[in-house]
């Protein structure tokens, strides 16, 4: 059995493609999963209109050309914010 990891998923360009216009969209996920593929796949049920506005209801969270998926680790870095997802109208 694989050990779960923590993954941070973000759009590569959150002003284009499925994220334009910006409203009713998800702009990031922190996911617990054993692999990058599984982390990307579980986003479908929690995604916003970025899925519905894409071609053929494709999930952009599963596309490495549109989104990043980085494993989060607690290294020796200084204190920092992992994710702040904020949008103002």
The one-digit pLDDT tens for each residue of the chain (89 residues) are 679 999 999 999 999 889 999 899 999 999 999 999 999 999 988 999 998 766 676 899 999 999 999 999 877 678 878 777 778 77
Look up the pTM and report it: 0.82
Residue 13 in any domain: the answer is yes
User: Is there a domain that residue 67 lies in?
Assistant: yes
At 60 the three-state DSSP class reads helix
Residue 83 inside a domain? The answer is: no
Peptide bond into 68 cis (omega under 30): no
User: Is 77 inside any structural domain?
Assistant: no
DSSP 24: T
Structural domain harbouring 40: 5-72
Looking at the structure of the chain, the number of domains it has is 1
54 domain residue, yes or no: yes
């Amino acid at each position: 059995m694989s050990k779960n990891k923590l993954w941070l998923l973000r759009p590569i360009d959150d002003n284009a493609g499925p994220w334009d216009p910006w409203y009713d969209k998800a702009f990031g996920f922190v996911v617990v999963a054993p692999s990058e593929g599984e982390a990307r796949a579980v986003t479908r049920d929690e995604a916003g209109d970025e899925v519905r506005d894409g071609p053929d209801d494709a999930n952009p969270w599963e596309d490495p050309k549109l989104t990043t998926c980085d494993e989060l680790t607690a290294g020796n870095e200084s204190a920092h914010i992992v994710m702040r997802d904020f949008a103002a109208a």
